[in-house]
């Protein structure tokens, strides 16, 4: 019953008026997405920390491994990392020799970023543990629910990112 009140975004004001309120923090999409991400990432962080890489560096590596060499802008989009962050991340990962960069000829601004053999090796080393973590999440949450949640998130992203 209380839950339904939150659901409908109604509330009773001090003088008994029925007033319309925005979602409480208990039923707000931004908060729910944030918390959900937190509980999921909590499972991955120990693995990443053991190998001294950040979550964002890990995303960059995986995107490059999956799609092949990319320019910075495209990489930033695919890894959901903003350009200023990517600049710093690339710098750090070049020094650790997980990725390499090659200037694109005919355009002095662009550079192609590639994963190095060491980067591939790191991904392969972490893959089993990564799979195990995902499996454990699916066992707890339910595989069907998991797939459905991914579908709904994709749909949300789609509906909100088509600009008009």
Partner DNA sequence: ACCTTGTAGTTAACGTGTGAATTACATCTT
Partner DNA sequence: AAGATGTAATTCACACGTTAACTACAAGGT
Q: Give residues in contact with DNA (CB under 7 A).
A: 38, 41, 45, 49, 54, 56-57, 71-73, 81-92, 106-111
**Residue 13 within binding range of its own copies, rule CB under 8 A:** no
Is there a contact between 26 and 6 (Cβ–Cβ < 8 Å)? Answer: yes
Is there a contact between 41 and 59 (Cβ–Cβ < 8 Å)? Answer: no
Residue 102 vs 141, nearer CB to its own copies: 141
Residue 6 vs 111, nearer CB to DNA: 111
The residue count for binding its own copies (CB under 8 A) is: 55
Is there a contact between 55 and 81 (Cβ–Cβ < 8 Å)? Answer: no
Q: Scanning residues 15 to 54, which ones bind its own copies (CB under 8 A)?
A: 20-25, 27, 29-44
**Residue 125 within binding range of its own copies, rule CB under 8 A:** no
Question: Tokens for 69?
Answer: 């060499």
Three-state DSSP class for 117?
helix
Cβ neighbours of residue 16 closer than 8 Å, sequence gap 6 or more: none
The span from the CA of 70 to the CA of 64, in Å, is: 7
Rounded to a whole number of angstroms, the minimum distance from the CB of residue 7 to its own copies is: 7
Rounded to a whole number of angstroms, the minimum distance from the CB of residue 30 to its own copies is: 6
CA 63 to chain centre: 12
- Which residues bind to its own copies, rule: CB under 8 A? 7, 9, 20-25, 27, 29-44, 55, 59, 62-63, 66, 78-80, 127, 130-131, 134, 137, 140-141, 145-150, 152-157, 159-161
């Amino acid at each position: 019953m209380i839950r339904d009140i939150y659901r409908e975004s109604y509330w009773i004001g001090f003088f008994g008026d029925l007033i319309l309120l925005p979602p409480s923090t208990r039923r707000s999409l931004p908060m729910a997405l944030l918390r959900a991400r937190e509980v999921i990432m909590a499972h991955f962080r120990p693995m990443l920390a053991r190998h001294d890489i950040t979550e964002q560096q890990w995303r960059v590596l995986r995107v490059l491994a999956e799609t092949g060499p990319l320019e910075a802008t495209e990489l930033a989009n695919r890894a959901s990392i903003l350009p200023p962050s990517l600049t710093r991340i690339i710098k750090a990962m070049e020094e650790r020799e997980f990725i390499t960069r090659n200037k694109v000829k005919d355009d002095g601004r662009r550079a192609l970023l590639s994963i190095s053999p060491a980067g591939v090796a790191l991904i392969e080393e972490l893959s089993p543990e990564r799979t195990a973590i995902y499996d454990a999440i699916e066992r707890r949450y339910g595989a069907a629910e998991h797939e459905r949640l991914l579908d709904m998130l994709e749909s949300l992203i789609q509906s909100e990112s088509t600009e008009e």
